[in-house]
Structure 1
Amino acid sequence: MSSRLVLLVGLVACLSIGCRDQGAVKLTISFPNFKPGCIRVSVKDAQGAGEERSMELQEQLAGKKRGEKVTVAAFREEGWGSILTVTATAFEQQCSDKPVFTASDSVDVGRGVSSAALTLVADDTDEDGYVSKASGGTDCNDGEATVHPGQAELCNTRDDNCDGKPDEGFEKVGQQCGTGSTCQTWACDAVGAMSCQDVIPQWYRDQDGDGEGDPQQGLSQCAQPVGYVNNDRDCDDKRKERYSTATELCNGVNDNCDDVVDEGFNTGATCTGELNCGGTIECVTTTQSACKVVTSTWYPDGDKDGHGATGAGTKVCGDTAPSSYYVASSDDCDDTKNNVYTGAPEFCDALDNDCDNQKDEDFDVGVACDAGNQCTGAKECAPGGKSTQCKSTTPPTQYYVDNDFDQYGQNTPGPLTCSAPGAGYATQSGDCDDGNRFTHPNAAEVCDLADNDCDTEKDEGDVCPTTPAWTNYPSPSPDSETWYSVALYGNGGVWVAGGDNFHQRKPTETSFQDLSTCTAGASVYSVATTPGSGDALLGGNDGFMARYDPTSEQCVSPGKKSVDTHIKGATAFPLGNDIEAHFVGFNTNGPDKGRAFRVITPQGTSYDTQSVSEELTDVHGLSQDTLFAVGGANTSSIYRFDKTSGNWSPETIPNGGGTLLGVWVVNPKLAYAVGNNGTMYGWNGSAWSKFLPTPPGDHLSSVVAFGSRSIYISTLTGRVYHYNGSAWTKAFDLGSVTPGQFRDIAANNPGDIWVVGNKGNRYHWPQ
């Protein structure tokens, strides 16, 4: 059983813990007309992300009855979308049997708990645990509880176990048995068993071999004499064609031994009725009698195609048609359509034009074809009926370009296709700012001086303080403290690190707590958070590393590690059920200037290290597929991680840039890198180019972005600049307060931004 599918009893109380963040569905499964022996329940991402989860319910159904229900909780896996597909499949006895019925539905769970219901439909009228064959089961007689697969076969001329063979195992019935002096034969008894019973058979002469005996030639004895049978129903034991169950023919003979000749044919009678042309009724064939007069039969031709309708015609005296609406032929299988009759040319019109019990033969109706728009199609009849055309079996989906990956695309239609175009497209439009993933219809409004929910109003709903501003939360000793790195976790949690200092501001709190003992006196330059737990990963000079767990409030394994690196940057992201952390910096051993290494489980003992030619200052990524490191001593350098080889390879970038100090991956098709002298590069999913318009010429220390039209950069001149898709503006200037530097910037959304630097400065927008 998967740990992500849980059987529930009563209410869904257990969902109140983990489901609010991950999302789950409470699934109620009913089976009104039968009680399944096993139910297989599965849940998967509707878009195909990750692996399907499933569980089998068998023991849990032991106490259930027909018409009851069972409830399970299906949890959304990490990496899945909000829409889950839930499926329930019923089996008669075991989940290894052939499925009886499957029901499925898609549920949008968001990040909370949604409810869904599936009904499994099948009939078990006699409640013997087996479903009728008519509704997909194996019960050949659903009105009799003692007839079903697995039932013991009885001697009763009935197929008790639904294997298609009555009384198997009782083949001796009718044969002699016993060794006594009386006649004994095998026979079925009242309880369905075979027993040897006393009987003295009567036998009758069957001279003609038709299976019936002459009642005048009988004898009694135990064994069947040669040429005798055990019935006396033959009225003529010299003619094989005459016996009691023979079909009566129109031939002047009593064929079926009922003492009546040619019954049913009315031979010898005078012709009467509407068609009274004189004469008497006589046999015309062995199966038909008719008046021996001149008559003719005519058939209605309602569609005037020269071919009469099949079936009984109209008889008239003589050989003249009763009217022009009748013809002599009866080969029209549809007398309402004049293009349907025997021998007609076949058209592609879903009709059997030539009356050969086939429709549209010689046309490729139903054959798979390419319907365009990457849609699979099937051939159907084209107008005019002389050819076929391709029609899509499913309508194509309209996609819209979604540059900011917020599931809302631009208003201009993009690809119309049956094949999902991949990342960067959405099935719904209406995004009023496709360069900011926090701006789209129904988005939560944040304090960013923008219209996040596309209703033309900005910052409504009291999301901003009375006077929003960049607010400092200074260090206790501002003159001696420089903060080189800031990272956010949870809903409001903040880590800051620099020098031998390390502070934490817990979610919902307004002041920082000093955790500097975790640095062990080392110089720390980077802090990153792990997804999910929010652990702080610290990196510093000479390979100093530590991890701080906010749940246990413990600093784990602080100290220098043998990684030959002055650590300057760190990032972490999920890798299956683990966390993969990457650290970069300056090489302390060897001719190469830079070094990068990774730890599959943070603070593990296995380090996958690689030296590179240029010094590295920062690293960021969402997964192994989109992971970049930047640096360079006097010129710009960007490296990309190759998940196949596990190595870092230099990227091709335009010349002329200064040392890069920060990098930020927005989504799989968008990333930015910034550095000295106003250097800034943008990555479009395939190549790096210089960012235009060029940002201010300050030394740019760090960058964070939410799309192509929502970018924030910090500078070593103590400023924060914002790009809105058309121009750069100064969002904040530390020089107006007290001159200083900003070293790093981080944000959860455009309404929750932190920037840190020297002189103990820790500023937050909007308060």
Structure 2
Amino acid sequence: MKSISSLVCALGLGLVMAVAASACWVPELPDGTVFSCASNEDCALAGEKCVPREGLSGYCCMPSANATEVCNGVDDDCNGKKDDLAATCYGGPEGTAGKGLCKAGTPKCGANNEQLCEGEVLPTEELCNRVDDNCDGVTDEGFDLQQDVENCGACGTACSAGQTCLAGKCTGRVQQTCTEGSDDDGDGLVGCEDTDCANQACGTGCTCKSNVAAETTCTDGVDNDKDTKSDCADTDCNNQSCGTGCLCKSNVAAEISCGDSNDNDRDTKIDCADTDCANQACGTGCTCKSNVAAETACGDGNDNDKDTKIDCADTDCANQACGTGCTCKSNVAAETTCNDNVDNDKDNKVDCADTTDCPTGTACGTGKTCKSNGTCS
């Protein structure tokens, strides 16, 4: 049980002066302690503890609600020291302390009991300066050293007035947009007139060539270079593709795929029926002649011109070779080499034995002729 003197001391110094309480010791000034103690039992209020001090008597102290020291001239955590703050302080976002420029500071109480953080460095806006200003672990992010005229190639390297930054180097200002009427480098030359635009796009289906806009898409029905001519009607498209199986020739679309059954040049005529295909291949073993498909491979066993007649049976093959030592005659294959021991016309008769194609008297070798009995001597 606490002594009567302890209870009296709890009432304050004024009451101590009025009551003879020799057991209640009031320390000398300037210590400032009102109630001294030797142990927690000497303190009157519940929760108070006796704080020992070297060379002085202890004093009764009531810890603050969270026992955290703040700047208020009071020993909030009852450790015998007033306003002894944490070892370090930092007011920046979590995870930024210790990165880049950011660092923690030292807590300090100000003249008006405000808490200061002396020496701390907080994140700032990122600058192009080879330093991690915003303390996110990355340096100089957000700056394009390849195109930034203020930081061209390296932070702090600024291009002169009138220059632009290309590939990290300051150069004379270059036209970037080559469409009609554009002069973004301010040199008085617009669009393709500016040599900066050579071989650059001047819009969809348009490329700058020799300082003028040239049509490069020749099948979209659009006047891409704005010269009032579109597609094959524009000389820019000469010998350029006007679509699958189509090529611009002499300012018109011409069929060049003559065996696909498509009207590739959109003139209502298909394949060999189109004069564009004259003497052009209409497929394997097929050539366009007089506006129709003609068989030209006469020994492959295929109806190459799709007229239901194959090889020598097709009049297209008249007097044409039907293979080695074979020529089409009167719509059939005929043996023309009579001394190679080969059935060249595939009629099961070889050389002089093929009496129709190699009749008596036909040469069958040096100084030899076919005899009536089908031999060569």
Check whether TM > 0.5.
no
Q: Rg larger in 1 or in 2?
A: 2
Greater percentage in strand:
1
Which one scores higher on RCO, CA 8 angstroms, separation ≥ 6?
1
Bucket of the pairwise TM-score, normalised by the shorter protein: under 0.3
Greater percentage in helix:
2
Per the normalisation by structure 2, the TM-score is 0.24
Per the normalisation by structure 1, the TM-score is 0.14
